[in-house]
Amino acid sequence: MSDQPTIAAKAPAKVTLQAGKDYWFCTCGKSATQPFCDGTHKGSSFAPKKFTAEKDGDSWLCQCKHTANAPFCDGTHKSL
Ligand code: FES
């Protein structure tokens, strides 16, 4: 079994988050509801990353799954 995440897309997803709300970020790359977890990781070595939004508004969440600043896009997708 590979420990490399699947690249869901080589571009981030723009999502509107609510301050104080918890979200589950997909780290395996196989979720059909990117950038969030849909449970597809089960049976793999991956687990979703829970995070709490700090502010209301739009954020760009990583879909290439190679960011060093999960769940946020850090531009790494450009070098894949
Ligand atoms: Fe992964 Fe931009 S989408 S770093």
Is residue 2 pLDDT above 90, yes or no? no
pLDDT, tens digit, for every residue of 17-61?
999 999 999 999 999 999 999 999 999 999 999 999 999 999 999
Q: What is the pTM of this model?
A: 0.94
Residues in CB range of 79: below 8 A, 6 or more apart: none
What is the per-residue pLDDT for 1?
47
**Cα(73) to centroid of ligand 1, in Å?**
4
**Cα(52) to centroid of ligand 1, in Å?**
19
Is residue 5 pLDDT above 50, yes or no? yes
Residue 65 token pair: 């799954």
Task: Check if the beta carbon of residue 74 is closer than 8 Å to that of residue 61.
Answer: no
Domain residue spans in the chain?
1-80
* Ligand 1, CB cutoff 6 Å, lining residues: 11-12, 62-64, 66-67, 73-77
Higher pLDDT, 1 or 10: 10
To test ligand 1's pocket by mutation, which of 76, 79, 80 has the most ligand atoms within 8 angstroms of CB?
Answer: 76
Task: Check if the beta carbon of residue 37 is closer than 8 Å to that of residue 25.
Answer: yes
